[in-house]
Amino acid sequence: MVRMPSDASLRSCSKFYLLVLTSLSLVGGAIAAPAYDIRFAAVQGDPVGSQTLTGVGSQVVSNNDLGEVVFAGNTLIRSVVDAAGQRHLSSVPLGNPQLNAIPLTGAFDPSVNDSGQVAYQGAFGPFGSNYGIVFNNQVLVSTQDSIHGSPINWFSQVTLNNAGQVLSAAHNDVAEAYFVNDQAVVTSGQVIDGIEIRDLSLWPTINDSGTVAFMGQWATGRGIFTASHKIVIEGDTIDGHHLSFIDGGTALNNAGEIVFPARFDDGQYGLFSQNKLLVRTGDLIDGHTITFISQRVAIDDLGDIAFTAQYDDGQYGIFTREQLIASVGDIIDGRELQSVGQSSNGANMLAINNLGEIAFHAYLDGGAGSMLLARPVPEPSVVALTFATALLSLSCRRRAYCTLRSSQMSLTSPVL
């Protein structure tokens, strides 16, 4: 004869089950911010084929969902860090692009997409007398093109999306323009939602749907725009905070979330999206008080951000909203970091992919330049669940009323 449990016994066991799950939820909350495994993706002096890596200065870095880190050294470099933490460097094939028969003499400012394709800014001719944006062995736009009748002098940004569209920011002495491939999509003097944009920021961004977001300035203020719409301007209120000065570059993900830096209220500084304040000076992150936030920020498709900030006693570090990832003075593989993610010209020296992996530049002891990759360590949720299951099993055996199936926890469901 099978002995059936009483209602009281079932309620007792059910309540214990709920207690265990609640405890597991609390444990899960405690480990929500993952630990990071930080490895060098490249160090000045590394072998690259038959050559030696040089020139890893304050460079733009780009990474993708394949785990590749791409940057400029003595040529364009692709690095992959394997599961054992070993780095493998190779040269990015540059092809043989020519600018009106002028050969390529240098390459920098790369951007890599999730297919491993790379767009970059190329120098053509002796001493880099001409510059152009290169993708698929083609020069898309160059200093031989013009904005409002005046030749382009230089480019400040190259971004390649997963649709194969290349966004570049071009400048001359009187105007600026953003190009997608070879077409200008925004130019200074353009009117967007009734506002005449006089100046364009150095650092626009593009997502996979082709939306371009940027900071634009007009006669009396600044704002965040797309090529066709105003998003937010100085004087607007976001999350209860009055924006007084919009600054720096923008980051945009495939969900359409735009992140940008701004001053607000009583002189505080922070990173905002269209709808909320994400982080501000004075915030306590991982036990450190944020005192300064850089103008550049990176965002993934989940809305996670990475940024460079100053904290506590003036040190710089790479942060997410939840924790400090790396900072000046850290020792990585026996080398001390002497700077992290900093650039005098505002170059985007950190990047984040949709795996949560953060790539960033750092100078090391002795002055060597390097690129690092911080990879989140998987949360030990399986271990926690196994422990909770064992506790529940022990309790049920003692009561001899609950049945623990081999493949799952099963409990007859009385009304509690």
pLDDT of residue 412: 38
- Per-residue pLDDT tens digits for 84-128: 999 999 999 999 999 999 999 999 999 999 999 999 999 999 877
122 is a domain residue? yes
**At 21, which helix (H) or strand (E)?**
helix 7-30
Is 9 a domain residue?
no
Whether the full predicted model's pTM is greater than 0.75, yes or no, is yes
Q: Are 104 and 125 in contact (CB under 8 A)?
A: no
Domain range spanning residue 140?
58-311
Q: Residue 271 in contact with residue 279, Cβ under 8 Å?
A: yes
Neighbours of 373 (CB within 10 A): 27
Bridge partners (DSSP) of residue 129 are none
**Which pLDDT tens digit goes with each residue over 218-265?**
999 999 999 999 999 999 999 999 999 998 889 999 999 999 999 999
Report the Cα–Cα distance between both ends of the chain, in Å, rounded: 27
* DSSP states along 256-294: --EEEEEEETTTEEEEE-SS-EEEETT-EETTEEEEEEE
Confidence of residue 320 (pLDDT cuts 50, 70, 90): very high
Q: Say how many C-beta atoms besides its own lie within 10 A of residue 72's C-beta.
A: 21
**d(C-alpha 412, C-alpha 407), whole Å:** 16
Confidence of residue 313 (pLDDT cuts 50, 70, 90): confident
- d(C-alpha 115, C-alpha 211), whole Å: 20
Per-residue pLDDT at 409: 39
Residue 343 inside a domain? The answer is no
Give the pLDDT confidence of 34-70 residue by residue, as tens digits: 799 999 999 999 999 999 999 887 778 999 999 999 9
Flag whether 35 is in a domain: no
Contacts of 202 (CB under 8 A, 6+ apart): 156, 157, 169, 171, 249, 346
The answer to whether residue 282 sits within a structural domain is: yes
Q: How many whole angstroms separate alpha carbon 71 and alpha carbon 154?
A: 19
Domain assignment present for 41: no
Cα distance between residue 184 and residue 141, in whole Å: 10
Query: How far is the CA of 149 from the CAs of 145, 174, 176, 182, 192, in angstroms?
Result: 9, 10, 12, 16, 21
Average pLDDT of span 162-168: 99
Distance CA 69, CA 374 (A): 11
198 Cβ contact list (under 8 Å, min separation 6):
188, 189, 217, 218, 219
The Cα–Cα gap between 317 and 278 comes to: 17
Average pLDDT value for residue range 181-210? 97
| Domain assignment of residue 67, yes or no | yes
Band (pLDDT 50/70/90 cuts) for residue 408 is: very low
Residue 288, both tokens: 């450190």
Number of domains in the chain: 1
Q: How far apart are CA 58 and CA 307, in angstroms?
A: 16
3-state secondary structure of 393: helix
- 139 pLDDT more than 70: yes
Sign of the C-alpha dihedral computed for residues 71, 72, 74 and 76 taken in this order: positive
The phi-psi region of residue 182 (left if phi > 0; otherwise alpha if psi is between -120 and 50; otherwise beta) is: alpha
Does 68 map to a domain? yes
Q: Residue 187 maps to which CATH number? A: 2.120.10
